[in-house]
Structure 1
Amino acid sequence: MIWIVTSPERIHEEHLYLNELAAAGPVTLLLRKPGWSLEAYTGLLDRLHDHSRVMVAGFPELLQRYNVMGLHVGEAVRRTDNSRTVPSAGTPHRQASQAPVFSTSIHTPGAPAGPWNYLLLGPVFDSISKNGYSGKGHLFVAVPPNCIAIGGVQADNIRQVKSMGFCGAALLGTIWSNPAGAVKTYQTIQDLWQHS
């Protein structure tokens, strides 16, 4: 399972890249834009063709407006604002059988309290997008089965991610360091993941 995390910065015509990525294979898109307003999020969501594989970060009310896959709650929010951690699953756009997916970020193995379907654990390797953000994967002895690796993941180490016991990987820097090559990068990594 491969997730792609949006760049924290604005990217010109970003919706075009995200639509191409969504059409390129079984990817989950994590729409995470620190500092963005609700209106900015909705502006981007309105330009995406398929919301069913989109996780949104930071705005539980978007589950009420769009048929998104689910909600990602950052570690800082999870620790300081328990009232927003798990919003109501009932939404006018969602069928009763489509319960939202919930994910959160962690920096050490071990499941936090809550009904988390996925845990984004990292940084596993040295970050591509954040200078000085060193990988800690060598310290991750027992990885929970619902953990997705994040931090420095790229084609050269995707097989290692799988061998460490992660159920998936989240890509950020390796995708957005070259947006024009995003689809090719994703497809290469997806193929390596599936065949390792």
Structure 2
Amino acid sequence: MMIVIAPEKAVKQELYWVNTLLENGLSCFHVRKYAWSEQEIRDYIEGIDSQYHSHLVLHSHYFMAKDFGINRLHFREIERKDGQHIDYKDSHYRLSTSTHSIHDFNKLGQEWTYAFFSPVFASISKEGYGGTGNVLSDLPLKNNKYVQLIGLGGITQNNMIEVLSAGADGVAFLGGIWQSESPVETFVECQKKWKHNLYNKEIKKC
């Protein structure tokens, strides 16, 4: 699974890029705009072609999900620990969350489809965040059979295969996409590497 997360601060032509990413095969886009108002989030989603609304994941304003046919919701670590996801766990929604230790990831229950595991590398979008821990070396300790682990933090087209080879089920991009000259060209290159990695895994099975 390859995921792109919305930039915290709006970028030039952002909705154009989001729509073009989805047109080019992005299957999961996280609408992560915690500081935005209800109307700003609504306008943002309305600016995304409705055929792609099923690919969106809400990080807030969950009540909008029904309005737009969105069935994916994300809860931050603190929200999960506060039990804010409880009302949604037995519904049709696909839930995801964030973790920062392999111990916490391994304890996640079957209500979670996947979880971010971060920071893998030094963050591109948050200067000074990450890059000093042992997140990458902890990946082989993953033993949760029900939840997919998605590496997050400083991931680019140049290091994504390292994360997948270490045991991650997928990767999430933020700064690696939005701080590139062309978010779509960068995503397409990542997509090629993803497919090549899957092909190599299939070859090894033969």
Using the size of structure 2 for normalisation, the TM-score is 0.83
Query: Which consecutive residues of structure 2, in runs of 5 or more, have no partner in the other structure?
Result: 198-206
Q: Distance in 1 between matches of 2:162 and 2:84?
A: 37
Distance (whole Å) between structure 2 residues aligned to residue 164 and residue 134 of structure 1: 18
- For 2:137 and 2:39, locate their aligned partners in 1 and report how far apart those are by CA, in whole Å: 40
- Conserved 8 A contact 1:30-1:55: yes
Give 1:157's aligned residue: 159
Shift of 1:113: 4.3
CA contact under 8 A between 2:116 and 2:152: conserved in structure 1?
Answer: yes
Answer whether contact 1:124 1:150 (CA < 8 A) is retained: yes
Residues of 2 paired with 1:69 and 1:160: CA distance?
31
- For residues 160-171 of structure 1, the aligned pairs below 5 Å read 160-171=162-173
Query: Which residue in the other structure is 1:101 paired with?
Result: 94
Shift of 1:139: 3.4
5 Å matches for 1:4-83? 4-49=4-49, 50-80=52-82, 82-83=83-84
Q: Go from structure 1 to structure 2 and tell me whether the alpha carbon gap of 1:167 and 1:69 turns closer, same or farther (over 3 Å shift).
A: farther
Q: Secondary structure at the match of 1:51?
A: helix
Alignment check: 8 A CA contact 2:3 2:172 kept: yes
Alpha-carbon displacement from aligned partner over 1:98-134 (angstroms, at most 9, x marks no partner): x321100000122334610011111111111111112
Report the Cα offset of residue 86 of structure 1: 4.2
* Correspondence for 2:2: 2
User: Which position in structure 2 is the counterpart of 1:93?
Assistant: none
Q: Secondary structure at the match of 2:140?
A: coil
- Map residues 170-181 of structure 1 onto 2, 5 A cutoff: 170-178=172-180, 180-181=181-182
Listed as ranges, the gaps of 5+ residues in structure 1 are: 91-98
Residues 162 and 193 in structure 1, CA contact (< 8 A), matched pair in contact too: no
SS of equivalent residue, structure 1 residue 4: strand
> Percent same amino acid among aligned pairs?
26
Whole-angstrom distance in 1 between the partners of 2:108 and 2:15: 33
SS at match of 1:140: helix
Select between 112-121 and 155-164 the one with higher mean Cα deviation: 112-121
Residue pair 2:89, 2:95 contacting (<8 A) in 1 also? no
Give the structure with the higher percent helix: 2
Q: Is the 8 A contact 2:120 2:153 kept in 1?
A: yes
Q: How many angstroms apart in 2 are the aligned matches of 1:33 and 1:174?
A: 18
Q: Which residue of 2 aligns with 1:124?
A: 120
Query: Retained in 1: the 8 A contact 2:89–2:111?
Result: no
| 3-state SS of 2:162 partner | helix
CA distance in 2, matches of 1:134, 1:84: 27
With over 3 angstroms needed to count, the CA separation of the structure-2 counterparts of 1:26 and 1:177, relative to structure 1, is closer
Residue in 2 that maps onto 1:139: 138
Structure 1 residues 153 and 192 mapped into 2: Cα distance closer, same or farther (>3 Å)?
same
Count how many residue pairs are aligned between Structure 1 and Structure 2.
186
Larger deviation, residues 10-19 vs 132-141? 132-141
Q: Say which SS state the counterpart of residue 78 (structure 1) adopts.
A: helix
CA 1:167 to 1:86, structure 2 compared with 1: closer, same or farther past 3 Å? Answer: farther
TM-score normalised by length of structure 1: 0.87
